Chains A and B, each alone.
Chain A
Amino acid sequence: MNSALPDLAAVWLTLKLATVVTILLLIVGTPIAWWLARTRSPLRGVVGAVVALPIILPPTVVGFYLLIAMGPHGPLGRLTESLGLGLLPFTFSGLVIASLFYSLPFVVQPIQNAFEAIGERPLEVAATLRAGPWDVFWSVAVPLARPGFVSGAILGFAHTVGEFGIVLMIGGNIPERTRVVSVQLYDHVEAMEYAQAHWLAGGMMLFSFLVLTMLYAFNPRPRKTG
């Protein structure tokens, strides 16, 4: 039982991290997705590429640069220190910021696709009925894009739970602060504690399976519009 306690702490920390990150990503990601879906700006390609970058880059690369950027000599580190926030590496806040960047495409892209699938027509119809842009967004676009939000939230959450490389690089493996499940699992394997590793790995498999089942079972098919 004693040996299971650090595992439980890691599970709790992971769920906390994933929840915070998912909520923040929905707040940050929705305007980005809306802009990407609607804009005709020439910057669309560049911004889309920046958002998608973490899908391609190896996590260790992202983690390494984040470590340098957040360190005392990096631009982010200087900024946080001058604001009196201290340095971000080895802190929970640091993990949150790193995860925001790394899980961004998994939230933005489904929402962006859902916004694009709505098309111009429902929005124009709403406008002719004298709905203002804010009203159109909340009363028409968001409800119609609901499946995209559900997918984005679940993917963002799941991807944060499964994150490893970045956390390893900037987390410092501190119990109850930065030691998430994936790192704890890695520790067990490294320490040749294969039995505990199996429990944790099996638990994660089951969790991922349940999450994805929920995603596919409860997410309604996009309604036909237009």
Chain B
Amino acid sequence: MALLLAEVDNGRVSRRFPETARNRIGRPKAGGIASRLAGITRQGNLQIVSVKPFSTALLTVVIATSAAADEVRLAVAANFNAPMHRIAAQFEKDSGHKLLISFGSTGKLYGQIANGAPFEALLAADSDTPARLEREGYGVLGTRFTYAIGKLVLWSANPALVDDRGDILKTRSIGHLAIANPKTAPYGAAAITAMSRLGVIGKLRPILVQGESIAQTHQFVASGAAELGFVALSQVQTEGGIGAGSAWLVPDNLYEAIRQDAILLTKGRDKPATTALLAYLRSSKAQLVIRAYGYELP
């Protein structure tokens, strides 16, 4: 969020809005003030970042500088927040396009897309939702691909609590164990599978608390309100290691791989900028970032 604003502030506005400018001039529109800059709102955990043109006067000057730049409206699963900000900054710098990203849970984003949200591509937290969007005609056929494979960790804000084998789940009595809602969040479902395969689900069920998304689950644990929680590795990994607290990387054989798929949506079908972004996600530059945040690649 901050970085989007910063870039607008330091004079790069000139590269950003020509497409919009052309549209505006192409179909003459009343109303001088072409809009405000940067409306940032927070609704629940959904962030809407939008940067809109200053004024038509400025835009006329702008058109000459670069004709290819465009805006891409993107819906991104909450767990991919941190890497997406890095990738977005690089992509904007490399391509001159501008990304408008809405973060939210995959279920909510699905509901919004099915009800006419203007997103041009979705980066989901699972593979089912993109498949469903394709089936229902909201996604473009044959554009699905796995952009990241999520890793589950058992994490505590307390640096001494979690051992490197996850034995704490079996041995100690725990206050609260936070998971993401297994009905709606793939990381929550993976946590349930892992506990079942470890044979501890029966013992742990009474102390489970659910976050509505993996982001909220992380918050429960970070605040200490829940002693332990299953979160995404991407949330606790900084360059090269666990940032704070203690964690156990849950072995792959304890849960089904969390394949996070992206899909081009019908609203982005004929937009080169959107296609460029999806291609960029598969570039080595983006993949470096994705790996650094603790995801695997297909």
B181 within 8 A of A: yes
A90 within 8 A of B: yes
Residue of B184, B212, B219 touching A67 (CB-CB under 8 A): B219
A192 within 8 A of B: yes
Q: Which one of B176, B210, B223, B226 has the greatest number of beta carbons of chain A within 10 Å?
A: B223
A142 within 8 A of B: no
B183 within 8 A of A: yes
What are the interface flags for B210-246 relative to A under an 8 Å C-beta threshold, 1 for contact and 0 otherwise? 1110001001100111100000000000000000000
Is A71 a contact partner of B225 (Cβ separation < 8 A)?
A: yes
B110 within 8 A of A: yes
Residues of A within 8 A of B108 (CB): 189-190
Is A70 a contact partner of B184 (Cβ separation < 8 A)?
A: no
Q: Which one of A70, A90, A190 has the greatest number of beta carbons of chain B within 10 Å?
A: A190
Is A187 a contact partner of B209 (Cβ separation < 8 A)?
A: no
Instruction: Give A172 to B184 CA distance when docked, in angstroms.
Output: 14
Give the total number of A-B pairs whose CB atoms are below 8 A apart: 72
A87 and B225 contact, Cβ closer than 8 Å, known pairs A60-B44, A190-B184: yes
Nearest-neighbour CB distance to chain A for B212, whole angstroms, equals 6
Is B225 a contact partner of A72 (Cβ separation < 8 A)?
A: yes
Is A71 a contact partner of B224 (Cβ separation < 8 A)?
A: yes
Residues of A within 8 A of B212 (CB): 168, 173, 183, 186-187, 190
- Which chain B residues have a beta carbon within 8 Å of chain A's beta carbons? 42, 44, 105, 107-108, 110-111, 175-176, 178, 181, 183-184, 208-212, 216, 219-220, 223-226
Extra contacts, 18 of them, besides A172-B210, A183-B212 (Cβ < 8 A), are A67-B219, A67-B225, A71-B223, A71-B224, A72-B224, A89-B176, A90-B225, A169-B216, A172-B220, A174-B209, A187-B183, A187-B184, A189-B111, A190-B108, A190-B181, A191-B107, A191-B183, A191-B184
Pairs across A and B, CB under 8 Å, 16 listed: A58-B42, A72-B225, A73-B223, A87-B175, A89-B176, A89-B226, A168-B216, A173-B211, A174-B210, A187-B183, A189-B108, A190-B181, A190-B184, A191-B184, A192-B107, A192-B110
- Which chain A residues have a beta carbon within 8 Å of chain B's beta carbons? 58, 60, 64, 67-68, 70-73, 87, 89-90, 165, 168-170, 172-174, 183, 186-187, 189-192
